[in-house]
Structure 1
Amino acid sequence: MKTRISIITFAIICHLGIAQKGQINIEQDQKINELIGLYKSPKEDSEYYRIQVGFGSSKKAQEIKSNVEIDFPQLASKTVFESPTYRVRVGRFKTKLEAERNFMEVRAKYPDAMLLKPKKSTK
């Protein structure tokens, strides 16, 4: 009798284990992809020299960026958020010489500008 109950119980458990089939749908907010893009963007520029022109709140950074685009249209400008401020950076220079030449021009107009060295890669 105990053997039959054990066999029946085992058969029911096996049937329930096999019967659990389903489909999983993951709905992801689009903002997650945007955040991933923001996270990746500073890392993509880590091989280049850049010039940081200014920083501040989002509004102040946008004003600085607009002025930089007028003053130096040949240099690509970018606003980067690094907690707790937004930073405005221009240029992507492979060599230190090229970066320093442009830095001298930018610094004449924006005295608080800083030349940022590339980060060492961890490959």
Structure 2
Amino acid sequence: MRMLNTKLCLSLLGFCLASITTTIAQDNQNPILDSSNNNNFVPVNILPPPEASVTINQDPKIKMLLDIKAKMEKNGDFSDRYKIQLYYGNLNQANDIMKSSKESFPQWDSSIQWETPNYKVWMGNYRTRLEADRALKEVHAVFPNAFIFRPEKK
């Protein structure tokens, strides 16, 4: 029992010495920080970040190619578009249908496609199904067998 009290006293004494040392260290002021003013801050000069600049050197043909690509996308050369098929059959009748479609609907291009052994007459190049449906509504007055489809990519 006496041993336990001695250990307890020694640890209590160590704790007291540590707290006294900490208190004394906090009371001493740092002479480097307090040499010219009474605050505890060190002055720091912060410089603004330098301005960034980027220089792009490119061939002028790149802009021309981008313009051509944008025009081709607008015309529908790259994307899935809807078309209206007006006729499927022999070449003479296909030519007559195409001529009639160009007279009736000059705002939409018509073309003849060949698929063994018959010819197809296609009209338009519509971006959305809704746009194709609106056109089909007008086309049905002249060509009642016309229908909308999406051509397969070859």
Give the TM interval when normalised to the shorter protein: 0.5 to 0.7
Shift in Å, 1:117: 2.7
Question: Aligned to 2:113, which of 66, 76, 80?
Answer: 80
Distance 2:149 2:132 in 1: 9
Provide the residue aligned with 1:105 in structure 2.
138
CA distance in 2, matches of 1:65, 1:81: 13
Asked if the contact 1:56/1:85 (under 8 Å) is kept, the reply is yes
Q: What is the match of residue 66 of structure 1?
A: 99
Q: CA deviation at 1:56?
A: 1.4
SS in 2 for 1:110: coil
Question: CA RMSD for the aligned pairs?
Answer: 2.1
Question: Secondary structure in 2 aligned to 1:86?
Answer: strand
**Number of the residue aligned with 2:58:** none
3-state secondary structure, aligned to 2:123: strand
The structure whose residues are more often strand, as a share, is 1
Which structure 2 residues correspond to residues 6-85 of structure 1 after superposition, within 5 A? Answer: 47-85=80-118
**How many residues in Structure 1 have an aligned counterpart in Structure 2?**
78
Q: If the length of structure 1 is used for normalisation, what is the TM-score?
A: 0.58
CA distance in 1, matches of 2:151, 2:115: 16
Structure with the bigger RCO (C-alpha within 8 Å, sep 6+) is: 1
Which amino acid in structure 1 is aligned with residue 93 of structure 2? K
Higher helix share: 1
- Give me the TM-score of the superposition, normalised by structure 2: 0.47
In the alignment, the residues of structure 2 paired with residue 118 and residue 100 of structure 1 have an alpha-carbon distance, to the nearest angstrom, of 16
Q: Which ranges of 4 or more aligned residues in structure 1 deviate by more than 4 Å? A: none
SS in 1 for 2:145: coil
Q: Percent identity?
A: 35
Relative to structure 1, the CA distance from residue 89 to residue 60 in structure 2 (aligned partners, 3 Å threshold; closer, same or farther) is same
Q: Which runs of 5+ in 1 are unaligned?
A: 1-43
In structure 2, relative to structure 1, the CA distance for the partners of 1:82 and 1:104 (3 Å cut) is same
- Does the C-alpha gap of structure 1 residues 92 and 84 become closer, same or farther in structure 2, counting only changes over 3 Å? same
Q: Gaps (5+ residues) in structure 2?
A: 1-76
Equivalent AA in structure 2 for residue 93 of structure 1? Y
3-state secondary structure, aligned to 2:141? helix
